[in-house]
Amino acid sequence: MADEGIEKYIRPELVNFGGYAASKSPETLEGKVAVPVEDIIKLDANENPYGCSPRVNQALADYPDINIYPDSGQTELREQLQEYTGVDMRHIVAGAGSDQLIDLILRLFVEPGDEVINCIPTFAMFRFFIELCSGTPVEVPRDENFCVDVAAVKKAITKKTKVILLASPNNPTGTLMPEEDILKILDTGLPVVVDEAYYEFTGKTVAPLVGKYKNLMVLRTFSKWAGLAGIRIGYGLFPTKIADCLLRIKEPYCVNVAALVAVRESLKDIDYLMGRVKRLIAERERLFSWLKELKWLKPYPSQANFILCSVLEGGAKELQQKLEERGILVRYFDQPLLRDSIRISVGRPEENDILMETLKELGEGLND
Ligand SMILES: Cc1ncc(COP(=O)(O)O)c(C=O)c1O
């Protein structure tokens, strides 16, 4: 083989890097599921089933300057985000999804061998980026209600700890972190990231504390509430010193012109988008009440646009596969602290109806 031996040049810790188990794209399932691709119900990646604002589609279709690089200083975008968040633009940096900001933050703080505290189970990309920069993830288990164990976090701090990562609401558990717990962790003085990807579904935020605490960073995204997951646009609120560094270490054009247009139009259509967020919250509650009635699933209360369920009979992987065969995509987990669990993103009412009907049928099969 021509490329034999090339691995010896690869960073040893990355030769067998596990990667991220990304959600499946419906087009890759063509012919493998019982329904046509366009009828697949995608409840596996916490996307917004209503799509983006129609203003975004129109403005993208009309946009004339695709041949020109975007403003690397993100000036207009940061001004718009200042208005949206109420936080001065000197604190704001945007990226290609909040994923990119997690990456940049860790690259800014973590040298090989440094430790990053990660409260598991949580968003898998945290561990991914810690390992990508050769940091050591220090995993602190959440309690039985999936709340962060503040005392255990403090106990896990060593001289090598560089960052503490928190998500609120947490993915995949949907758990909101009380502000008093965040304050206790901020009091450690270590750099703390609070990932608020699902903020618009709760209205609860620590954004007003940014700048008051020199160690607080808050991450947000347009992927969920504004339906822009495919465009890749997120942002963070940082102490100005950190924002300055991030603006210098980011790729100059990491936020593309389509994302700039999409944010501008989304922020002109907040009422419309938040109307859909409200509908999703109502659907989440409807779905939760219904799931609670099933004897073989145990749903956990969620403050986001998804519901985590323990699968009490039949196995999570099997359930995910049976749903997939029927054209319904959900996420399953089988890892420490998250054995036999599935996460269902909340869909449109008609999608949730099909899901509920299918779960009912599968449940009848279990009792046979
Ligand atoms: C907690 C959390 N943070 C960040 C992200 C990534 O968001 P983005 O699409 O902005 O990269 C997700 C996506 O699922 C998430 O659940």
Q: Is the CB of 97 under 6 A from ligand 1?
A: yes
Could you identify the atom of ligand 1 that is nearest to the CA of residue 46? 14
Q: How far is CA 109 from CA 40, 81, 154, in A?
A: 41, 25, 19
Determine the Cα–Cα distance for residues 95 and 259; give it in Å rounded to an integer.
10
Determine the Cα–Cα distance for residues 72 and 255; give it in Å rounded to an integer.
8
Q: Is the CB of 132 under 6 A from ligand 1?
A: no
- The dihedral built from the CA positions of residue 131, 181, 223 and 146, taken in this order, carries a sign that is positive
pLDDT computed for residue 3 by the predictor: 65
Q: Is the CB of 221 under 6 A from ligand 1?
A: yes
Query: Closest residue (by CA) to atom 2 of ligand 1?
Result: 197
CA angle at 255 for the pair 254 and 257, rounded to the nearest 5°: 130
Q: Is the CB of 305 under 6 A from ligand 1?
A: no
Q: Is the CB of 197 under 6 A from ligand 1?
A: yes
Reference 74, options 271, 247, 208; nearest CA is 247
CB 49, CB 351: distance < 8 Å = yes
| Ligand 1 centre distance from Cα of residue 353 (Å) | 26
Q: Give pLDDT < 70 ranges for the chain.
A: 1-3, 367-368
CB 356, CB 69: distance < 8 Å = no
Q: Is the CB of 172 under 6 A from ligand 1?
A: no
| Ligand 1 centre distance from Cα of residue 105 (Å) | 15
Q: Is the CB of 234 under 6 A from ligand 1?
A: yes
CB 126, CB 118: distance < 8 Å = yes
pLDDT computed for residue 26 by the predictor: 87
pLDDT computed for residue 22 by the predictor: 82
Could you identify the atom of ligand 1 that is nearest to the CA of residue 229? 9
CB 304, CB 169: distance < 8 Å = yes
Q: In this predicted model, what pLDDT tens digit does every residue of 234-244 receive, in sequence order?
A: 999 999 999 99
42-81 b/e with 16+ CB inside 10 Å = b? bbbbbbbbbebbebbeebbeeeeeeeeebeeebeebbebb
Determine the Cα–Cα distance for residues 303 and 34; give it in Å rounded to an integer.
32
Provide the residue type at 131 as one letter. Answer: E
Q: Which residues contact 274 (CB under 8 A, 6 or more apart)?
A: 200, 225
| Ligand 1 centre distance from Cα of residue 287 (Å) | 22
Determine the Cα–Cα distance for residues 220 and 242; give it in Å rounded to an integer.
16
| Ligand 1 centre distance from Cα of residue 124 (Å) | 10
| Ligand 1 centre distance from Cα of residue 54 (Å) | 23
pLDDT computed for residue 1 by the predictor: 55
Reference 158, options 114, 99, 109; nearest CA is 114
